[in-house]
């Protein structure tokens, strides 16, 4: 392993020129230069910068979105990509090569890091691999935005250098999956926020209890929609001694009130007392700030299907809660745990790389479900799920079933089969990995009491779905969404990898050298690999290949794969020692 040892210890001459993949506009024809990487001079770090080496890069579907939308992508909107191209790649393992003089004491050559891609600098959001040059470059510059951002440094150091490069590069996508189970919502109204109270229809003898709602928190403003004297007096009494302004309103609509009173033209909390019509609910759902909560205190359990913005659940983390009782504070403290729970789990469209991570986490959790049902429409992905996870599920006495919806005559037959696998019951946890409104809507119909729907697929804002909103009150179900992670999630996941508690390499399906990244991105876009593709930037001419193909072509490397053909530290070491271009 002499070549690999030299690589790790930086005992080789740095090149004068490097390879980097750049995006010059919309479409695959604008990715790279004639399907090849650009040749650029080796950059030199300034005093407040670092020169880093990209050791391994995971290809992400998000990379394909930058290529698809070009300068229309939300993160780089308006950028002239012909003059200022993007270097993508945010799932990356990095090694420090050289520190500018301002960072020489903190960052040493040979130190290893991963990076949190979402960066905030002086109050402005930016991103590594989008706005800032990313990891699909053999060497790159880490700038002051990353090193001295609003959250400190967005580089996360490794503590265990026994971890191989692919393991830590894939911490980023794994952290996104882990983070989706670490979501937290407020357990009460937002202190000093904007609260809208909507009076709906309810019996005259209904007495609403606000005593606990304002016990430790008080809104800045309380706006009462469709106000009457009783509600106004009740709220004034409950807010005695609080520095809250109360504004009874009888004329304006919700969006008008949001524009008139709410910061950012929206509310932090909306509490609906009694029954209201579908249009009002829809308008209320569209009038919430990020992390806003709508609390629907219903009178009946009659079904009420309304249109909600799944993208706002996913990206803005808005939440819908409710109850059938009198205590208006009660829903805020109900069903706040979004970790795996219960005996049954249903994963919709889970055959892709991220879906496989959800499945692995479920099986390996401390209290795994007794039954896991998965659907996917790809035969190859279904076979991969069975090959990867059926044995480990069996070892934990988990009933594990993968279904292809195309094998059933109609949706009713499929639904009956899914419920039969759960002994006729609805599920305790549902994960939807398809950004398709009818699929998300159908997934919600499988939620049992206090169940959670995790909308993991990256649904854009404005993606409208129809949910039975009263389920949040009658059954205390919760809708959550996420596909990103924060630096705390990244570090949490990295430490689990370093301790041997999480094998991120299970997600690897193929590997590539630097010259074949174009085909790798095309494969990610088309979903032709049943797992993650890892690029090794310092191997130039390794063609994109599935691990099964690698085993056949390079048996001396393939012998280090697991019996199931999974990627390992030993396989990576053999690959790098044989093919590194240094």
On whether the CB atoms of residues 154 and 116 are closer than 8 A, the answer is: yes
pLDDT band at 204; cut points 50, 70, 90 = confident
Answer whether residue 251 shows pLDDT above 80.
no
pLDDT band at 382; cut points 50, 70, 90 = very high
pLDDT (average), residues 380-391: 93
At the topology level, CATH places domain 194-333 in Rossmann fold (3.40.50)
The Cα–Cα gap between 333 and 330 comes to 6
The Cα–Cα gap between 279 and 105 comes to 60
Cα atoms found within 13 Å of the Cα of residue 20, Cβ hemisphere only? 25
pLDDT (0 to 100) of residue 460: 81
pLDDT (0 to 100) of residue 146: 96
The Cα–Cα gap between 548 and 563 comes to 11
Q: What are the φ and ψ backbone dihedral angles of 504, each rounded to 5 degrees?
A: -70, -20
On whether the CB atoms of residues 543 and 567 are closer than 8 A, the answer is: no
pLDDT (0 to 100) of residue 283: 94
Structure token digits, residue 544: 């994109």
The Cα–Cα gap between 382 and 406 comes to 12
pLDDT (average), residues 30-40: 96
At the topology level, CATH places domain 2-181+488-579 in Quinone Oxidoreductase; Chain A, domain 1 (3.90.180)
Cβ neighbours for 87, distance < 8 A, ≥ 6 positions apart: 20, 21, 22, 23, 129, 133, 134, 135, 136, 137, 140
The Cα–Cα gap between 115 and 126 comes to 13
On whether the CB atoms of residues 323 and 294 are closer than 8 A, the answer is: no
Q: How confident is the model over 536-550, as pLDDT tens digits?
A: 999 999 999 999 999
pLDDT band at 457; cut points 50, 70, 90 = confident
Q: How confident is the model over 267-278, as pLDDT tens digits?
A: 999 999 999 999
pLDDT (average), residues 397-414: 96
pLDDT (0 to 100) of residue 364: 94
Reported residue count of the chain is 582
For residue 299, which of 200, 205, 202 has the smallest C-alpha distance?
A: 202
In this structure, of 86-95, 157-166, 188-197, 253-262, the range with the lowest mean pLDDT score is 253-262
Q: How far apart are the first and last CA of the chain?
A: 13
pLDDT (average), residues 224-239: 90
The Cα–Cα gap between 353 and 529 comes to 9
pLDDT band at 241; cut points 50, 70, 90 = confident
The Cα–Cα gap between 104 and 330 comes to 54
pLDDT band at 553; cut points 50, 70, 90 = very high
The Cα–Cα gap between 567 and 509 comes to 8
Cα atoms found within 13 Å of the Cα of residue 232, Cβ hemisphere only? 13
Q: What is the CA radius of gyration of the chain?
A: 26
Answer whether residue 205 shows pLDDT above 90.
no
**Chain centroid, CA 475 distance in Å:** 26
What top-level class would CATH report for the domain 344-468+476-481? alpha beta
Q: How confident is the model over 476-501, as pLDDT tens digits?
A: 999 999 878 889 999 999 999 999 99
Answer whether residue 377 shows pLDDT above 80.
yes
pLDDT (0 to 100) of residue 151: 86
Answer whether residue 1 shows pLDDT above 80.
no
Q: What are the φ and ψ backbone dihedral angles of 102, each rounded to 5 degrees?
A: -75, -15
Answer whether residue 22 shows pLDDT above 80.
yes
Around Cβ 554, how many Cβ atoms within 10 Å?
A: 17
pLDDT (average), residues 427-438: 95
Domain with CATH 3.40.50.720 in the chain: 194-333, 344-468+476-481
On whether the CB atoms of residues 514 and 533 are closer than 8 A, the answer is: no
Cβ neighbours for 230, distance < 8 A, ≥ 6 positions apart: none
Helix, strand, coil % (nearest 5) of the chain? 35, 25, 40
Cβ neighbours for 165, distance < 8 A, ≥ 6 positions apart: 55, 56, 93, 536, 572, 576
Q: What percent of the chain has pLDDT over 70?
A: 100
- Distances from the Cα of 327 to the Cα of 187, 191, 209, 271, angstroms: 14, 19, 5, 12
The Cα–Cα gap between 221 and 218 comes to 9
The Cα–Cα gap between 534 and 505 comes to 10
pLDDT (0 to 100) of residue 523: 96
Around Cβ 438, how many Cβ atoms within 10 Å?
A: 11
User: Alpha-carbon dihedral of residues 349, 353, 357, 358, nearest 10 degrees?
Assistant: -20
In this structure, of 328-332, 380-384, 445-449, the range with the lowest mean pLDDT score is 380-384
Residue 441 Ramachandran class (φ > 0 left, ψ -120 to 50 alpha, else beta) = alpha
Strands (E), 482-519: 508-513
On whether the CB atoms of residues 374 and 190 are closer than 8 A, the answer is: no
Cα-Cα-Cα-Cα dihedral sign, residues 406, 408, 410, 414: negative
The Cα–Cα gap between 375 and 352 comes to 11
The Cα–Cα gap between 312 and 481 comes to 9
pLDDT (0 to 100) of residue 313: 92
On whether the CB atoms of residues 98 and 142 are closer than 8 A, the answer is: no
> Which residues on neighbouring strands pair with residue 199, listed in sequence order?
273
Q: How confident is the model over 46-78, as pLDDT tens digits?
A: 999 999 999 999 999 999 999 999 998 888 888
On whether the CB atoms of residues 569 and 530 are closer than 8 A, the answer is: no
For residue 292, which of 196, 388, 415 has the smallest C-alpha distance?
A: 196
pLDDT (0 to 100) of residue 77: 85
Around Cβ 245, how many Cβ atoms within 10 Å?
A: 12
């Amino acid at each position: 392993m002499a070549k690999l040892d030299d690589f790790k210890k930086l005992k080789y001459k740095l090149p004068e020129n490097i390879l980097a993949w750049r995006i010059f506009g919309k479409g695959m024809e604008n990715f790279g230069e004639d399907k090849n990487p650009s040749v650029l001079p080796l950059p030199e770090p300034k005093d407040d910068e670092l020169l880093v080496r990209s050791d391994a890069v995971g290809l992400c579907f998000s990379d394909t979105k930058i290529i698809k939308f070009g300068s229309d992508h939300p993160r780089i909107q308006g950028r002239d990509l012909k003059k200022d191209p993007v270097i993508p790649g945010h799932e990356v393992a990095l090694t420090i090569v050289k520190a500018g003089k301002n960072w020489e004491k903190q960052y040493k050559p040979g130190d290893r890091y991963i990076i949190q891609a979402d960066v905030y600098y002086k109050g402005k959001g930016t991103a590594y691999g989008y706005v800032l040059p990313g990891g699909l470059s053999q060497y790159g510059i880490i700038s002051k935005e990353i090193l001295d951002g609003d959250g400190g440094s967005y580089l996360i150091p490794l503590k265990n250098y026994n971890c191989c490069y692919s393991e830590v590069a894939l911490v980023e996508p794994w952290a996104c999956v882990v983070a989706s189970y670490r979501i937290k919502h407020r357990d009460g109204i937002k202190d000093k926020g904007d609260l809208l109270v909507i009076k709906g229809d309810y019996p005259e003898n209904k007495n609403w209890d606000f005593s606990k709602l304002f016990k430790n928190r008080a809104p800045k403003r309380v706006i009462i929609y469709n106000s009457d004297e009783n509600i106004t007096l009740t709220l004034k009494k409950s807010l005695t001694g609080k520095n809250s302004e109360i504004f009874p309103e009888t004329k304006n609509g919700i969006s008008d009130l949001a524009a008139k009173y709410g910061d950012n033209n929206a509310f932090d909390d909306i509490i609906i007392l009694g029954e209201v019509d579908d249009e009002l609910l829809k308008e209320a759902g569209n009038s919430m700030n990020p992390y806003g909560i709508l609390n629907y205190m219903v009178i009946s359990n009659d079904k009420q299907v309304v249109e909600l913005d799944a993208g706002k659940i996913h990206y803005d983390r808005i939440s819908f809660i409710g109850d059938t009782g009198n205590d208006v504070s009660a829903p805020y403290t109900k069903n706040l745990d979004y970790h795996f729970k219960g005996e049954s789990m249903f994963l919709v469209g889970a055959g892709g790389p991220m879906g496989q991570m959800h499945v692995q986490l479920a099986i390996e959790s401390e209290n795994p479900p007794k039954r896991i049902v998965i659907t996917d429409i790809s035969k190859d992905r279904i076979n991969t799920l069975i090959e990867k996870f059926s044995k480990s599920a069996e070892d934990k006495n988990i009933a594990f079933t993968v279904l292809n919806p195309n094998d059933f005559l109609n949706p009713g037959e499929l639904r009956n089969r899914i419920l039969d696998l759960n002994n006729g019951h609805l599920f305790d946890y549902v994960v939807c990995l398809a950004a398709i409104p009818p699929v998300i809507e159908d997934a919600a119909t499988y939620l049992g009491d206090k169940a959670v729907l995790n909308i993991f697929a990256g649904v854009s804002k404005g993606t409208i779905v129809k949910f039975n909103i009263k389920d949040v009150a009658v059954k205390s179900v919760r809708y959550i969404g996420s596909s990103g992670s924060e630096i705390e999630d990244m570090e949490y996941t990295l430490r689990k990898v370093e301790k041997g508690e999480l094998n991120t390499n299970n997600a690897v399906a193929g590997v590539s050298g630097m010259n074949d990244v174009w085909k790798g991105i095309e494969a990610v876009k088309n979903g032709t690999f049943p797992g993650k593709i890892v690029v090794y930037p310092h191997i130039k001419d390794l063609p994109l290949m599935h691990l099964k193909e690698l085993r056949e072509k390079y048996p001396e490397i393939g012998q280090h794969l697991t019996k199931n053909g999974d990627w390992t530290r030993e396989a990576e070491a053999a690959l790098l020692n044989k093919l590194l271009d240094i």
